[in-house]
Amino acid sequence: MIRYLGRRLWQMIPILFGVSLGIFAFIHALPGDPARLLAGPEASGQDVAAMRARLGLDRPLVYQYLYFVRNAAAGDFGRSFRSGEPVVRILATHFVPTLVLSAASITLAVCAGLGVGILQGIRRNSVPDYLSTVVSVAGISTPTFFLGLLLIYLFSVDLHWLPTGGMGAGLRSLVLPAVTLAAEPAAALARFTRSSLLEVLGEDFVRTARAKGAGERRVLARHSLRNALIPVVTLLGLQVGFLISGAIVVETVFSWPGLGWLMIQSIAFRDYPVLTAEILLFAVEFLVINLAVDLLYAALDPRVTYA
């Protein structure tokens, strides 16, 4: 297991190198000049050229990339074009709100998705199953931004129960963005858990356990759920990654000052250092999530081993 973990961590290095190269080329291909945005619309050509020199944008693109890689390997991602603050400090400031929002959304999605999916599997073709199916399909089909605006209108504008955005109201501010972000993955988890559980409940080893006199709760907890959750773990890992990327939309709708909100601001101002470091951070998160899913397989299924 240790050798496998070390090998996977070592494989992340060339992946991140390739990702950084693609990010760097894509960002610099975006229309718009950061120097012109910072110098102002009425700045002269000399002022813009001086600004480009100060930002280091007058150097060849290859040199800029190699300079970035060398500093990034040492943990230095440069300074923001917009504010002049170190990029690491900016990311750390906005990482905490995103972490809080993602943790709350993941908790809601897992609890609701697995709970509803198990209920659907146990009560197949019942009224709760049909109602849960309708809600799940609606949750998957509804765009995140539309659901967010709908919840704002209902609970903030109409009922005045919850704030429209920001973090000023503490936990009350977290309710709407967390529910909005968790809706789609919870619905997907519910549908997938139902299908997986129904498939396992029809296996021979489940019928054998029942024939030996095992109670229904024991059959469900000891034999069915553990095997049904193995494929669900894969979907859960993907959904966690989508939660992180989906936070961009939700944070923008609810003015939540996290990494998603920061990314939109960085794109608007062509803040290359912040944007590059932030996308790299998302790539690292996806790689870590995939590694955690692979390790979780071994915990759920003893037949899975990693040498």
**Token output for 129:** 């199953």
Segment 8-24 shows an average pLDDT of 85
Phi, psi of 105 (to 5 degrees): -70, -40
- Work out the widest C-alpha separation in the chain, in whole angstroms: 86
**Up-side HSE of residue 29: CA atoms within 13 Å toward CB?**
6
DSSP H or E stretch at residue 135 = helix 127-141
Mean pLDDT of the 51-79 span: 85
**Of 297, 284, 300, the residue nearest 4 (C-alpha):** 297
The tokens describing 116, both together, are: 């509803």
> Do 165 and 255 form a contact (C-beta atoms < 8 A)?
yes
Q: What is the mean pLDDT of the chain?
A: 81
DSSP 223: I
**Residues pairing with 79 in the sheet:** 86
| Residue scoring higher pLDDT (232 or 14) | 14
Burial (CB < 10 A; 0-12, 13-18, 19+), residue 285, is middle
pLDDT digit string, tens, across residues 70-109: 888 888 888 888 888 899 999 988 888 888 888 898 889 8
User: Which pLDDT score, from 0 to 100, does residue 218 have?
Assistant: 66
Which residue's entry shows tokens 């709908």? Answer: 150
Q: Which residues have a Cβ under 8 Å from the Cβ of 209 and sit 6 or more positions away?
A: 218, 219, 222, 223
Query: For residues 152-178, b (16+ Cβ closer than 10 Å) or e, as one string?
Result: beebbeeeeebbbbebeeeeebbbbbb
pTM of the model: 0.79
The Cβ of residue 17 has, within 10 Å, a number of other Cβ atoms equal to 12
Does 298 have pLDDT greater than 70?
Answer: no
CA-based end-to-end distance of the chain: 6
Give the model's pLDDT for residue 300. 62
